[in-house]
């Protein structure tokens, strides 16, 4: 195999692969070794591990653990000085408290410090400027270049070859697979190629015919002249003794360089770099990834640095540069094997911080078939087509740069570009005052302002400031109307596939956990597992005809998974039908009263049973109706072609006026589904969980013939789960949390929250959480940590609402 690029990612990957026995590895690098001229050659190496993403935190933690145990000729690859993040505003201070919770959830040791304690760690800080700090003693500084060489030496000792001054100029394929890498020095045959080319990733991608949606951006870094108080404190070997430091309110970070201070700034205007303008090694003044320092862009940051660290008044900026690094539209790396060109893999847009963790996960993926960390947030196939457009990548990645240190709410939608994808119901949603959030380019109503008035009379507990953002009491009225009368939910943005052909049934039997050999007209809830038995997705599969199935999936990764596994003989056709169709969920006790008068088809309980599907006409519109409900009420998902969607919505809306029909958004939907205990894949469960502990074992038919992941489940199916996903009911109804908060028992921090919402029907605040089995029994008292406060809660029996399913089966 060939790895392109000997930066921190390429070197780490060579080490991880050779350690796993893949020793026929060649790393090609266009620059010299190991100061190649890429981003790793100039990275100051700060490693702050705590991140909203569990996967990124785990990657960073592995990087620290690995580099801490490594040296290069006795010089350490990691300097464990700790990390300190400061708050100078109350908003940031609240965010650091939240971050302390995140760190605890993901197992990172941390503490909140008062200003005096911060100054004890960093005496240069102006104590009057700060409100407090978040201290992570296990963070520190990675010496990226040393770590590159140390890992490369290990790989070389196991048989890997590193070729300097070999520029990749082409990728060749044969028989639909990658076959070789063409360099300016000759051709290297390869069955597997990993592009770890950093900011040059899109160029390598083009050679392989693969979109690499990242944007190279300049980011400023400067060093001061000598700071008197540091003289004699550090030496060349231990360049720093104080924690690496973040002052995010001014988009700044700091570290010591022996007796100087290094300052990184994200405060400047976004400076996207055209790859054509990145100089070659020969033409570069310093190195290809280093552009000239634009001092005027740094000036405001320098003033902010002086405000925080007044002792810098006696210094000045001695040197600086505009370094180039990669940004993606969602701030996450790009990992995985291209489907367009099998054998061609990506490991790109990776920080030094996450480098070893990403390399380990990719090596596991290559060697064992899947990583043990869930990487769906990093998978290169996560994007929809509209998200791969160059202008989109440019705009979103530039915004990601601006927001890199911002306090971001988990629901906060991107402001631009918007209205990329809208359902046929969009004009009506606008008329009803929909408040839209965005997902995968889709505009999705979160609530409707038209329902705010109806909420006025309802008793909705006051929630905290954070949980009040991107929320409206209108959601309470929508939830109430769903349980009381009938509501329309736009389900169009949820991806749906058609799988058809003479091999379709066998294919689905093999791919999914539930029994698919059912009568046409039957719907099944089922799972996709990976080979290790982890939950890759959950699906609803409707067998519409003998050889035709419609499948509700969780996104592009499911499409990718099916396409990869589909037999090559043409017996199975997998088609994404999302764009040409739409879906309205009609749910509530009056759903039948709404739908039946509009149709000559039988929508009675007898004529249209639970988990059944049929073609029908509603108000003259040809539809496929499925009697399923993610909110726990009588009703149907009604699918139609997009062109007749608006007519369908209008007909239902008009006919529903006498029944109190209401439009419902995602906010109400989320509350209703949690009352019923319905899982959301990616949030509540991932590949890291098996179906039994996740509470979806009912969808696994171990007695069915073999299916992907079955053999890995045999043991788990016979055992009691060691952990469980369970609902917590908060003691106080106003205690609404958001997800990812740590859960404590007397034994300490034992788990974390996945999804949370106020349950408007049960009048209680709900938080689903992963807990060890011995803390998961109903009645167990726990605390949820929220903004550094302990909120008491109790593990409850699920489902929290209508356990007899009486409301759905009528
Ligand atoms: P690179 O190190 O760029 O390696 C890619 C390699 O591919 C290069 O050596 C290149 O020469 C080679 N290559 C490209 N094209 C070809 C080709 N056609 N043929 C052969 N070889 C090729 N991250 C942190 O975690 N902490 C920090 O404190 C930090 N600070 C930063 C400060 C600045 C100013 C900048 C700009 C970035 C910083 N980063 C930091 C980010 C970090 O530097 C990068 O994310 C990381 O180094 C990327 O590593 P890489 O191996 O993917 O890329």
The model's pLDDT over 468-522, given as tens digits with 9 standing for 90+, comes to 999 999 999 999 999 999 999 999 999 999 999 999 999 999 999 999 999 999 9
pLDDT, residue 705, reads: 87
Of 34, 47, 39, nearest in space to 357 by CA: 47
Phi, psi at 13, each rounded to 5°: -65, -40
User: 376, 384 in Cβ contact below 8 A?
Assistant: no
**Mean pLDDT (the chain, rounded):** 97
Burial bucket for residue 690 (CB in 10 Å: 0-12, 13-18, 19+): buried
Please give the torsion angle defined by the CA atoms of residues 600, 605, 607 and 609, in that order, rounded to the nearest 10 degrees. 120
- Residues 6+ away with beta carbon under 8 Å from 653: 428, 488, 661
61 is catalytic: no
Question: pLDDT tens-digit profile of 733-747?
Answer: 999 999 999 999 999
Strands (E), 440-559: 442-448, 487-490, 496-500, 522-529, 535-545, 548-552
The best mutation among 36, 43, 252 to test binding of ligand 1, ranked by most ligand atoms within 8 Å of the C-beta, falls on: 43
Question: pLDDT tens-digit profile of 100-116?
Answer: 999 999 999 999 999 99
Distance 605 CA to ligand 1 centre (A): 61
CA 286 to chain centre: 36
pLDDT, residue 438, reads: 96
pLDDT, residue 238, reads: 87
- Residues 6+ away with beta carbon under 8 Å from 69: none
Query: In the chain, pLDDT over 70 holds for what percent of residues?
Result: 100
Q: Look up the ipTM and state it.
A: 1.00
Q: Which residue is closest in CA terms to ligand 1's atom 38?
A: 43
User: 625, 638 in Cβ contact below 8 A?
Assistant: yes
Which atom belonging to ligand 1 lies closest to the Cα atom of 354?
Answer: 25
The best mutation among 3, 7, 142 to test binding of ligand 1, ranked by most ligand atoms within 8 Å of the C-beta, falls on: 7
Question: pLDDT tens-digit profile of 56-66?
Answer: 999 999 999 99
User: 613, 678 in Cβ contact below 8 A?
Assistant: no
Overall size of the chain counted in residues: 810
The best mutation among 15, 40, 42, 61 to test binding of ligand 1, ranked by most ligand atoms within 8 Å of the C-beta, falls on: 40
User: 49, 104 in Cβ contact below 8 A?
Assistant: no
Structure-block tokens of residue 353? 């911080």
CB-ligand 1 contact for 140 (6 Å cutoff): no
Q: How confident is the model over 246-275, as a mean pLDDT?
A: 97
Structure-block tokens of residue 27? 């790393």
Query: In the chain, pLDDT over 90 holds for what percent of residues?
Result: 97
Please confirm whether the linkage preceding 417 is cis (ω < 30° from 0): yes
CB-ligand 1 contact for 264 (6 Å cutoff): yes
CB neighbour burial string for 617-648, b if at least 16 within 10 angstroms, e if fewer = ebbebebbbbbbbbbbbbbbbbbbeeebbbeb
538 is catalytic: yes
pLDDT, residue 190, reads: 98
Question: pLDDT tens-digit profile of 372-389?
Answer: 999 999 999 999 999 999
Phi, psi at 105, each rounded to 5°: -60, -40
Q: Which domains does the chain have, with CATH numbers?
A: 2-77+143-214+330-368 (3.50.50.60), 79-100+110-130+216-328 (3.30.9.10), 410-455+464-493+579-680 (3.30.1360.120), 495-577+690-721 (3.30.70.1400), 722-810 (2.40.30.110)
Structure-block tokens of residue 288? 């290809």
Question: pLDDT tens-digit profile of 652-697?
Answer: 999 999 999 999 999 999 999 999 999 999 999 999 999 999 999 9
CB-ligand 1 contact for 198 (6 Å cutoff): yes
Q: How confident is the model over 783-798, as a mean pLDDT?
A: 98
pLDDT, residue 237, reads: 85
Q: Which residue is closest in CA terms to ligand 1's atom 34?
A: 323
pLDDT, residue 17, reads: 98
Distance 251 CA to ligand 1 centre (A): 21
Question: pLDDT tens-digit profile of 638-655?
Answer: 999 999 999 999 999 999
- Residues 6+ away with beta carbon under 8 Å from 578: 492, 493, 494, 495, 496
- Residues 6+ away with beta carbon under 8 Å from 564: 339
Of 296, 295, 297, 317, nearest in space to 306 by CA: 317
Determine the Cα–Cα distance for residues 357 and 363; give it in Å rounded to an integer: 10
Distance 369 CA to ligand 1 centre (A): 27
Within 10 A of 548 (CB to CB), how many other CB atoms are there? 16
pLDDT, residue 395, reads: 96
Q: How confident is the model over 310-339, as a mean pLDDT?
A: 97
Distance 199 CA to ligand 1 centre (A): 7
219 is catalytic: yes
pLDDT, residue 301, reads: 98
DSSP characters over 123-154: TTS-GGG-SEEEEETT-EEE-HHHHHHHHHHH
Structure-block tokens of residue 368? 């064992």
pLDDT, residue 35, reads: 96
Instruction: From residue 284, give the alpha-carbon distance in Å to each of 198, 277, 292, 392, 529.
Output: 17, 11, 10, 30, 49
Determine the Cα–Cα distance for residues 347 and 583; give it in Å rounded to an integer: 36
Residue 749 belongs to what H/E stretch? strand 748-759
């Amino acid at each position: 195999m060939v790895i392109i690029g000997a930066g921190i990612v390429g070197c780490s990957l060579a080490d991880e692969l050779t350690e796993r026995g893949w020793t026929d590895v060649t790393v090609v690098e266009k620059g010299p070794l190991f100061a190649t001229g890429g981003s790793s050659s100039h990275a100051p190496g700060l490693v702050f591990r705590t991140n909203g993403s569990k996967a990124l935190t785990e990657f960073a933690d592995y990087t620290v653990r690995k580099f801490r145990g490594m040296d290069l000729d006795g010089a350490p690859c990691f300097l464990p000085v700790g990390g300190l993040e400061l708050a100078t505003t109350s908003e940031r201070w609240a965010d650091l408290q939240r971050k302390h919770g995140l760190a605890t959830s993901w197992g990172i040791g941390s503490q909140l410090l008062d200003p005096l304690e911060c100054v004890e760690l960093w005496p240069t800080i102006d104590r009057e400027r700060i409100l407090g700090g978040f201290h992570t003693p296990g963070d520190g500084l990675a010496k990226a270049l040393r770590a590159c060489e140390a890992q490369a030496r290990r790989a070389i000792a196991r048989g890997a070859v590193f070729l300097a001054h070999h520029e990749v100029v082409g990728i060749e394929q044969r028989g639909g697979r990658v076959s070789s890498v063409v360099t300016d020095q000759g051709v290297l045959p390869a069955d597997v190629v990993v592009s770890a080319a950093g900011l040059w990733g899109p160029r390598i991608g083009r050679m392989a015919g693969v979109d690499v949606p990242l944007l190279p951006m300049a980011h400023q870094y400067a060093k001061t002249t000598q700071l008197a108080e540091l003289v004699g404190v550090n030496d060349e070997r231990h360049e720093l003794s104080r924690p690496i430091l973040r002052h995010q309110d001014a988009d700044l970070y700091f570290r010591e360089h022996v007796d100087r201070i290094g300052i990184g700034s994200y405060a400047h205007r976004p400076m996207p770099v055209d790859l054509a303008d990145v100089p070659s090694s020969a033409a570069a003044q310093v190195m290809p990834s280093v552009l000239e320092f634009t001092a005027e862009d740094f000036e405001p940051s320098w003033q902010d640095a002086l405000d925080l660290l007044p002792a810098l008044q006696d210094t000045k900026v001695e040197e600086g540069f505009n370094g180039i690094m990669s940004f993606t539209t969602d701030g996450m790396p790009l990992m995985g094997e291209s489907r367009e060109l099998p054998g061609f893999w990506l490991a790109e847009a990776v920080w030094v911080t996450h480098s070893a963790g990403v390399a380990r996960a990719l090596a596991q993926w290559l060697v064992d078939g899947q990583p043990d960390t869930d990487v769906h947030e990093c998978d290169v196939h996560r994007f929809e087509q509209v998200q791969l457009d160059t202008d989109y990548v440019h705009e979103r990645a530039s915004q990601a740069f601006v927001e890199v240190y911002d306090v971001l709410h988990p629901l906060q939608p991107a402001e631009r570009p918007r209205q990329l994808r809208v359902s046929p119901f969009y004009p009506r949603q606008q008329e009803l005052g929909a408040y839209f959030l965005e997902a995968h380019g889709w505009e999705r109503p979160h609530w409707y302002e038209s329902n705010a008035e109806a909420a006025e009379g309802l008793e909705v507990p006051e929630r905290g400031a954070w949980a009040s953002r991107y929320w409206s009491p209108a959601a309470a009225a929508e939830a109430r109307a769903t349980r009381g009368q009938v509501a329309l939910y736009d389900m169009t943005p949820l991806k749906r596939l058609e799988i058809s052909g003479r091999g379709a049934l066998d294919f689905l039997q093999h791919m999914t956990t539930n029994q698919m050999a059912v009568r046409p007209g039957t719907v099944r809830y089922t799972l996709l597992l990976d080979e290790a038995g982890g939950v890759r997705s959950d699906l609803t599969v409707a067998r519409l005809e003998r050889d035709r199935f419609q499948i509700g999936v969780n996104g592009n990764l499911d499409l990718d998974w099916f396409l990869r596994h589909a037999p090559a003989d043409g017996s199975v056709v997998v088609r994404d039908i999302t764009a040409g169709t739409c879906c309205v969920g009609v749910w509530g006790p009056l759903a039948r009263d709404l739908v039946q008068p509009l149709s000559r088809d039988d929508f009675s309980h007898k004529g249209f049973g639970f988990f059944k599907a049929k073609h029908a006409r509603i108000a003259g519109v040809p539809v496929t109706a499925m009697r399923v409900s993610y909110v726990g009420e009588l009703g149907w998902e009604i699918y139609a072609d997009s062109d007749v969607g608006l007519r369908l919505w209008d007909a239902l809306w008009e006919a529903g006026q006498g029944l109190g029909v209401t439009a419902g958004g995602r906010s109400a939907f989320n509350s209703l589904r949690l009352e019923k205990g319905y899982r959301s894949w990616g949030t509540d469960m991932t590949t890291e969980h098996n179906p039994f502990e996740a509470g979806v074992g009912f969808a696994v038919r171990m007695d069915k013939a073999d299916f992907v992941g079955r053999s890995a489940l045999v043991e788990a199916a016979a055992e009691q789960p060691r952990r469980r996903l369970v609902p917590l009911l908060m003691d106080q109804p106003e205690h609404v949390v958001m997800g990812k908060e740590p859960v404590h028992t007397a034994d300490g921090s034992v788990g974390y929250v996945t999804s949370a919402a106020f349950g408007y029907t049960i009048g209680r605040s709900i938080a689903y959480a992963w807990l060890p089995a011995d803390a998961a029994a109903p009645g167990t008292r726990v605390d949820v940590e929220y903004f550094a406060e302990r909120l008491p809660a109790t593990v409850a029996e699920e489902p929290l609402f209508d356990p007899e399913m009486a409301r759905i089966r009528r």
